[in-house]
Structure 1
């Protein structure tokens, strides 16, 4: 009820008490019966309250006078964004779901998706949509989780110190997964050691009864065992959940053996990239920790899909293959994508690459990627930046020319570069 929510967050109920189910800050996706949260940012969400009611909103938060209080229900708060976080914390107190937090410089969204798939083999599971991993998306995920959710998988992003701690204060995870520490958002935290410190906030927030699931192959992640009183479970080519006998098929899809505390199994993924094996190992570690049978979890992973724009492959009518990895990029994920490109069966390999943002040393980061592409025999086509050391083009598709069977094109950059438009052009 609205009155319970208002009391839970210290707000003031204005208008009749009503029931609501879930929340949204986006009038384009709000569902009937939900709470509308007008975020005040570049645009003032209060300007869209009417549109929210047109779409069936049951009530709204408000931090400034608005005319809709006269005929609808509002919860008056000082700050709507802060109230959204507190509302999610209130919902967490009422939930019996076991919460899994996932963070890392590379692979956290794919790992989140695979964890959700593995756990859903036997447990009612909810996870963030796409990359809803910040102080707006994460609480919305929590508020929209069905009441009968048994496992809530929450990806946690960061662009500075203290942000993961804030997310953990409302989510209260009992399992924390750290995938990797790499050169992502280094500009915000003073380099890669700052990234490690920021990511370790998840591990530090775990209760003593919890489990920290750490990448044994990443020394900065493995060292986070010192940051927690929780039990530690490791994964990787060494560790408690161990990958061996790894091979890749013609589309760079991993096939490997997995030895775990719950038995061993062969795993075959429909996802491309050697790094997906690590993500799958992390997922099995979580599922096993939650009591999901190994065979059921592995079977679920064999058909699992992940969020779009992440190593998403499309075969063109000509027989060429386009690899859409445009959601985000940093030097670590660029290296993994290039390795996957080279592992694919092809006669020509192109990489259309754009800007990698928020690096503490952008020049060196881009040059490292260019050197790797050259060493692997990949034809690098830069667009939107000169940092790769090659002349950029405004028409990368035209520069590549006609594509046919045996050609593979990787498209990748930070989200701000918007290279999905290049993918759309390639797909025609």
Structure 2
């Protein structure tokens, strides 16, 4: 975090400064990292005590002090010998502090902010942008999937006076949440990747999901840029609700930044990037799957708007071998066996994309095995979407399906009911059963996909299979 006095911090978060039993004054400067996790506190840092669903961060304040916290942001005073700012709501205070810090850095004229949202691909696109922009200047980007009301501002608070680019991943489980993050960071470039059924159950339907994702671009300024997916019929209408200049990305001819001549193989994807005023460039992208090309195009469009040459962007993309752990992560290798671990998350769109990639990389004379778990948070759409994925697996000619867990059982039933298969789908209750079954059935040259929502826990199954066939 940038250096601020205790008085400035208290004013930014509308809190009361408590200095009893300390040697500090209102002019004492704090500049250490800000966190809500006492285990991550560094000497001179700020600990925000956040009440949680199952626990209360105030209980861990003594541990934060032991680790060297210079300031506590709390909802009630604690009997601890460290300065404290007492606020009504610590999460709101965290956001207010992030807003202040970003505004101060932006006022110096160096910082450019990119916001990224969408039902799928946020973390991948954020990571690609970080890899591209780091070559051009000091870059701060969200760690892991830090994209909510806590992770978002924690990331923003990492900016310093030297930061040139902030890439802020912005997720939501309801209307209004992205708008709050946008107001904190004030993006110069806002990206909307795709609007699908991921978390539709939480949002209350696809219309509410569209409304929430559009918050990325509705408050942009006319001098800002909205980077929109030209291939998504739910994203295209957002051009009508943003005052910003629109730049389109996609595979179709209507896109400003588009990919042509795609080739998908077991170790990555190759494509040609075309952009206005730029010579076309061939990219050898080490991330598996045609759907990740769209993320690369979104990152490319944003980076071009920030002044990065297309040749430099292509070079950066060519050095990416893994978008993120558990996202189309290629493992294995023994006896020509490939394991694709894509079980960090799953929506109908990403599940379909992963299955299509599995079918695309199949070599003649080899088999494909899909180990699939539940797609969670789909609400009323859950049953029909699991049915649809089961039918897709059949129609793509996937050699063998292993369905794991009660939440995904309907997927198995739909494949059996399709009638064109005879025993190619197996159902097991647990990941351990799935592991034993897959190990027993795999043959040299097979490609195994492991895909599920995070809650299903199959990412660890993917790791086990990858290690076994390493």
Q: What whole-Å deviation, never above 9, does each CA across 1:36-71 have from its counterpart, x for those lacking one? A: 111101210011111112222221111123211xx1
Contact 1:108 1:179 in 2 (8 A): yes
For the Cα contact (< 8 Å) 1:46–1:62, is it kept in 2?
A: yes
Match runs of 1:367-386 below 5 Å: 367-378=387-398, 379-385=400-406, 386=409
User: TM-score by structure 2 length?
Assistant: 0.87
Residues 452 and 458, structure 2, Cα contact 8 Å, conserved in 1:
yes
Whether the 8 Å contact between 2:32 and 2:42 is mirrored in structure 1 is no
Q: Distance in 1 between matches of 2:103 and 2:41?
A: 24
Q: CA deviation at 1:218?
A: 0.8
Within the candidate set 335, 357, 360, 2:376 is matched to 357
Question: Which 10-residue stretch deviates more, 380-389 or 328-337?
Answer: 380-389
1:155-166 equivalence runs, <5 A: 155-166=169-180
Query: What corresponds to 1:151 in structure 2?
Result: 165
- Flag the 1:318–1:147 CA change in 2: closer, same or farther, 3 A: farther
CA contact (8 A) 2:140 2:158 kept: no
CA distance, structure 2, for counterparts of residue 416 and residue 249 of structure 1:
29
Report matched runs for 1:10-29 at 5 Å. Answer: 10-15=14-19, 16=24, 17-29=28-40
**TM-score normalised according to structure 1 size:** 0.95
* Aligned equivalents of 1:135, 1:5: Cα separation in 2: 19
| Structure 2 runs not aligned, ≥5 long | 414-426
Deviations 1:318-353 (A, max 9, x none): 542221111111100101111111122451211211
Q: Answer yes or no: is the 8 Å Cα contact 2:258–2:274 preserved in 1.
A: yes
Q: Is 1:225 equivalent to 2:239 in the alignment?
A: yes
Aligned-CA RMSD value: 1.6
Farther-moved stretch of structure 1 (235-244 vs 133-142): 235-244
> Are the counterparts in 2 of residues 334 and 369 from structure 1 also a CA contact under 8 Å?
yes
Query: How far did 1:286 drift?
Result: 0.6
Does 1:7 find its partner at 2:15?
Answer: no
- 3-state SS, counterpart of residue 39 of structure 2: coil
Counterpart CA distance in 2 for 1:144 and 1:224 is: 30
Aligned to 1:422: 461
Do 1:127 and 1:141's aligned partners in 2 also have CA atoms closer than 8 Å?
A: yes
After superposition, residues 295-334 of structure 1 pair within 5 angstroms as 295-304=311-320, 305-334=322-351
**Structure 2 CA distance for aligned equivalents of residues 310 and 54 of structure 1:** 37
Structure 1: give runs of 5+ residues left out of the alignment.
none
Q: Which has the larger radius of gyration?
A: 2
Moved more, 59-68 or 270-279: 59-68
8 Å CA contact 2:272–2:283 kept in 1: the answer is yes
Between the aligned partners of 1:405 and 1:374, the Cα distance in structure 2 is 22
Q: Show the 5 A alignment for 1:10-409.
A: 10-15=14-19, 16=24, 17-41=28-52, 42-68=54-80, 71-96=81-106, 97-238=111-252, 239-251=255-267, 253-263=268-278, 264-304=280-320, 305-346=322-363, 347-359=366-378, 360-378=380-398, 379-385=400-406, 386-390=409-413, 391-394=427-430, 395-402=433-440, 403-409=442-448
Q: Distance in 2 between matches of 1:324 and 1:14?
A: 50
Paired residue secondary structure (1:109) = helix
Classify the secondary structure of the residue corresponding to 1:144: coil
